[in-house]
Structure 1
Amino acid sequence: MLRRFSISLEESLLDKFDRYIQARQYDNRSEAIRDLIRKALVKKEWQADKQVMGVITLVYDHHQPKLQEKVTEAQHDFHHHIVSSTHVHMDHNNCMEVIIVRGKAGEVQELADRLIALRGVRDGNLTMSSTGKALR
Structure 2
Amino acid sequence: MQRVTITLTEDLATELDLFMAKSGAGNRSEAIRDLVRRALLTRTDVPAEAPCLAVMSCTVDQGVRNLGARLAQRRLDTHDHTLATLSVPLDHTTSLEIEVTRGTVDSVTRAAEAQFLERGVAHGALALIPVGEDAARHSHEHSHGAPGHEHSHIRVQAGFGPVEG
Q: TM-score surpassing 0.5?
A: yes
Task: Give me the identity figure in percent.
Answer: 28
Query: Which residue identity lines up with residue 108 of structure 1 in the other structure?
Result: V
CA shift for structure 1 position 110: 0.6
The RMSD of aligned alpha carbons is 2.2
Change (3 A) 1:133 1:20: closer
Normalized against structure 1, the TM-score is what? Answer: 0.85
Which of the pair is proportionally richer in helix? 1
Change (3 A) 1:101 1:64: same
Number of the residue aligned with 1:120? 120
Which one has the largest radius of gyration? 2
Secondary structure of 1:80's aligned partner: coil
Q: How does 1:68-107 map to 2 (within 5 A)?
A: 68-107=68-107
Normalized against structure 2, the TM-score is what? Answer: 0.71
Structure 1, unaligned runs of 5 or more: none
Question: What is the alpha-carbon distance in structure 1 between the residues aligned to residue 69 and residue 77 of structure 2?
Answer: 12
Query: Which residue identity lines up with residue 68 of structure 2 in the other structure?
Result: Q
May I ask how many residue pairs the two structures share in their alignment?
135
CA contact (8 A) 1:74 1:114 kept: no
Number of the residue aligned with 1:130? 130
Question: What is the alpha-carbon distance in structure 2 between the residues aligned to residue 15 and residue 133 of structure 1?
Answer: 31
CA shift for structure 1 position 19: 1.6
CA contact (8 A) 2:37 2:158 kept: no
Higher relative contact order (CA 8 A, sep 6+): 1
Query: Which residue identity lines up with residue 111 of structure 1 in the other structure?
Result: A
CA contact (8 A) 2:52 2:128 kept: yes
